[in-house]
A and B are shown apart, each in its own frame.
Chain A
Amino acid sequence: MLNIHLILFLAFGAIAVAGAVNLLVQRHPINSALSLIAVMAALAGEYLLLGAEFVAAVQVIVYAGAIMVLFVFVIMLLNAGVEEQTSGSRVAFIFGIPGMLLGSLLVAWVVLRHSGTEAVWPGALPGAPKTIGPLLFHEFLLPFEVTSILILIAIMGAVVLASKPTTPGGGPRQKVQD
């Protein structure tokens, strides 16, 4: 049974998985960052399929917009080059890849076997801002306020960490020698 909802889910899912794999394959950080933006855009589409309009909008604005701009900015600021190729450990290849495949197969089998009949209908739970807002400002008011303090601390921490370090004498700190 192939309906439009399933087709859209598979299309967005394929984009998301392709972006995630591309993130792993690419050696230059800027390419990985752009793949991650593709993953986030595809996930915003999945959220829209689930009826979570507010989450989809926040995903695009905050994640794909603000956070990834910060990433790209830092990559360009530090002039990050191509990642150095290192030989992976042999144990990781011998045990890691079969283990990962086995684990993912097991999880996929369990999940598909035991909840294959329970379907999520498109737009079953409309998550418009009008319905999210009261929940956020009544039931989750305390966590919401705590996150505002968290953001404030994060801003101050980022400024302190990224500002030019100075020694008590006033001169710049010495570079590490190794």
Chain B
Amino acid sequence: MVPLSYYLVLSGILFACGVTGFLIKRNIITIFMSIELMLNGVNLSFVAFAAHWQNLAGQVFVFFVMVVAAAEAAVGLAIIIAVYRTRETLNVDQVNLLKL
């Protein structure tokens, strides 16, 4: 048996790593991967709480989070391709204009 808090600490560490990557990374694709890492950290706490409270709804919610992440990845990567096509860079520091 593993205390619930261990799962929550692991989940928090993964989320913190995601936030850090989101803040310090300069490559737009890596920033996007950090967002996926944050979603994974939250999913772990969902499943741990589902087991703790004996409620399967938590696992169903993880399924929904994954569906939303898949949709987000599809649209986000398409946006990255569109940005790269007009700017020819993946560095977020150089993507600072809204106009074409």
Contacts and interface: CB of A to CB of B under 8 A. Distances in A.
A23 B3 CA distance: 27
Contact of A84 (B9, B44, B79, B91): B91
Interface in A54-92: 54-55, 58-59, 62-63, 66-67, 70-71, 74-75, 77-78, 80, 83-84, 86, 88, 92
Contact of B14 (A39, A51, A100, A151): A39
A124 B49 CA distance: 12
Nearest to B59: A127
Contacts of B100: 173-174, 176
A132 B59 contact: yes
Interface in B5-62: 5-10, 12-14, 16-18, 20-21, 23-27, 29-30, 32-34, 36-37, 40, 43-44, 47-48, 50-52, 54-57, 59-60, 62
Contacts, number: 246
Q: Does more than half of chain A's interface fall in helix, strand or loop, or is it mixed?
A: helix
A66 B72 CA distance: 13
Interface residues of B, number: 74
Interface residues on A, range: 35 or more
Nearest to B91: A84
Interface in A12-40: 13, 16-17, 20-21, 23-24, 29, 32-33, 36, 39-40
A151 B68 CA distance: 8
A70 B3 contact: no
Contacts of A29: 27, 29-30, 33, 90
A94 interface: no
Interface in B50-100: 50-52, 54-57, 59-60, 62-64, 66-75, 77-82, 84-88, 90-91, 93-94, 97, 100
B71 A154 contact: yes
Nearest to A9: B2
Given A117-B3, A176-B87, 5 more contacts: A16-B14, A23-B21, A71-B33, A115-B3, A178-B94
